[in-house]
A = this chain, B = another copy of it.
Amino acid sequence: MNESLQRPSPETMAVVVAGLQRQFGNRCTLSEATRRQHAHTTTWLENQPPDIVVFPETTEEVQAIVRLCAAHRVPVIPFGSGSSLEGQLNAPLGGVSVDLSGMKKILAVNAEDLDCVVEPGVTRKELNEYLRSYGLFFPIDPGADATLGGMVATRASGTNAVRYGTMKDNVIALDVVTAEGEIVTTARRARKTSAGYDLTRLFVGAEGTLGIVTRITLKLSGLPEAVSAGSCPFPSIRAAADAVIMTIQTGIPVARIELLDEAQVKAVNVYSKLSLPEMPLLLVEFHGTEAGVAEQAARFGEIAAEFSGGPFEWAVKPEDRTRLWQARHDGYWAALGLRPGTRGLSTDTCVPISRLADCIEETKTDIVENGFVAPIVGHVGDGNFHCLLLVDTESEAERKGAEAFLHRLVERAHRMDGTCTGEHGIGQGKQKYLEPELGRPALDAMRAIKAALDPKGIMNPGKIVAHKP
């Protein structure tokens, strides 16, 4: 926690609340339910609600909020759709939650340039709906229908990243309201630039701790001419992982390559009323020309066969494809059904792909030996996989056991030159892993940047580099 920032006194908060009520009227609320909902967390972290939630509709309104908060040293926590996974929205010192979901204008689609300009409250599904008539799409797909502002903040990726990259690769420019209420424009709309420090990439993944994103220029992709998707079972996790490794190394430009372990397949079958073979399963998708997709699929088929995978089940019709990926995206909810009454915590380690089979296999052994229910899904083309650890958080013993498991998992990833988080971010829960992962000088550099851009420490305090180890 920024050592100089304290929870604002009730008197200070009263002044800020009065100021917000004066400007925003019924576009701000003190309702406890809304405040709690805005500190939504899918972790086991306690809900730490803000003091007030405000719903700005313009960049100028965001500036006004930040300036008011800066004048009184009150925390500012940006909120999109509440789908972050590491406690990024919690307000440990109270303060003002800035709900950007009302800022959902699509300001420009530059179809010729394959880019668009949006406000942060637009969700990825809304954007893709809008883009369809242009023959374009925004490829980053973290599963949840997150806002694009939230996706910028967490450096989101998801199922398509193996082909299209992550948010860091698909944001061209940002407008960001700084801790002083100024607007930083990070870049022009050109595809590449060497004009000074890469502020765009600095704000992507900063989890709202350096400013509030109010305008986003995104790269778009043409809707592929042909798409083909399907599922392929494997006799073991290792066989599936080895097939993935070979696919990537061979340079097949697979658009999606997702692993579900047998526990996850079972859960998905029940939840989504499917009848997938209850074995380790790869879901794959290819994008390209008709001929290109056929060639990719044939080559992948050869690799799968080499590792005893198959038979292939193709989802030929678009609606079958949608159903398959919806089932994959509902994996979190499906998994919760495996152990009703528990809470799920999604791990997020990512390792070099040569170590993927080792890392998943060791982790499976750990799960089995310790009696956890923890189905695994993974964006395996990137070396990233999630265990959804289902824990009775009322049981002290279970919680402790789970925390020890998480610790072992991160240590395992570090030992394999990987990271504790491929896409969910650091938030509150993973701060303890940052120094073991990157070392003290990197943390010192991050803290120096935070102090330089947010000297009062009001921007989403308590996240990323707040805690001194």
User: With the chains together, A191 CA to B423 CA distance in Å?
Assistant: 11
**Do the beta carbons of B441 and A182 come within 8 Å of each other?**
yes
Pick from B183, B197, B245: contact of A202, CB under 8 Å: B197
Residue among A206, A350, A382 facing the most chain B CB atoms (10 A cut-off): A350
**Do the beta carbons of B289 and A155 come within 8 Å of each other?**
no
Q: A355-391: which residues lie under 8 A (CB-CB) from chain B?
A: 382-384
CB distance from A415 to the nearest CB of B (A): 11
Residues in chain B near residue A222, CB distance under 8 A:
249-251
User: With the chains together, A225 CA to B250 CA distance in Å?
Assistant: 10
Any B CB within 8 A of the CB of A68: no
| Given contacts A178-B441, A182-B441, A204-B198, A384 and B446 within 8 Å (CB-CB) | no
| Given contacts A289-B295, A292-B292, A353-B191, A196 and B439 within 8 Å (CB-CB) | no
CB distance from A63 to the nearest CB of B (A): 11
Chain A interface size, as a band, is 35 or more
Residues in chain B near residue A178, CB distance under 8 A:
441, 445
Residues in chain B near residue A351, CB distance under 8 A:
190
**Stretch in A40-48, A319-327, A448-456 with 4+ CB within 8 Å of B:** A448-456
Residues in chain B near residue A206, CB distance under 8 A:
197
Per-position binary interface string of chain A over residues 233-255, scored 1 when its CB falls under 8 Å from any chain B CB and 0 otherwise: 00000000000010011110000
**Do the beta carbons of B195 and A441 come within 8 Å of each other?**
no
Residues in chain B near residue A195, CB distance under 8 A:
419-421, 426, 430, 433-434, 437-438
User: With the chains together, A383 CA to B114 CA distance in Å?
Assistant: 12
Residue among A111, A292, A352, A444 facing the most chain B CB atoms (10 A cut-off): A352
User: With the chains together, A424 CA to B193 CA distance in Å?
Assistant: 9
**Do the beta carbons of A192 and B289 come within 8 Å of each other?**
no
Pick from B166, B194, B413, B453: contact of A449, CB under 8 Å: B453
Say how many copies of this protein the assembly contains: 2
**Do the beta carbons of A354 and B112 come within 8 Å of each other?**
yes
**Do the beta carbons of B194 and A437 come within 8 Å of each other?**
no
Residues in chain B near residue A420, CB distance under 8 A:
195
**Do the beta carbons of A464 and B113 come within 8 Å of each other?**
no
**Do the beta carbons of A424 and B194 come within 8 Å of each other?**
yes
User: With the chains together, A413 CA to B354 CA distance in Å?
Assistant: 44
**Do the beta carbons of A382 and B444 come within 8 Å of each other?**
no
**Do the beta carbons of B248 and A188 come within 8 Å of each other?**
no
Any B CB within 8 A of the CB of A186: yes
**Do the beta carbons of A190 and B383 come within 8 Å of each other?**
yes
**Do the beta carbons of B446 and A449 come within 8 Å of each other?**
no
CB-based closest 5 A-B pairs = A201-B201, A452-B452, A112-B354, A448-B452, A189-B417
Please list 28 pairs of residues, one from A and one from B, whose beta carbons are closer than 8 Å in the complex, sorted by A's number.
A110-B352, A157-B192, A182-B441, A185-B439, A187-B419, A187-B438, A188-B417, A188-B419, A190-B351, A190-B352, A190-B413, A191-B353, A192-B382, A193-B419, A195-B421, A195-B430, A195-B438, A196-B443, A196-B464, A197-B205, A197-B450, A197-B465, A198-B204, A201-B201, A222-B249, A222-B250, A449-B453, A452-B452
**Extra pairs beyond A190-B422, A196-B426, A201-B202 (8, CB < 8 Å):** A183-B439, A184-B442, A190-B351, A194-B419, A195-B434, A197-B210, A222-B250, A445-B453
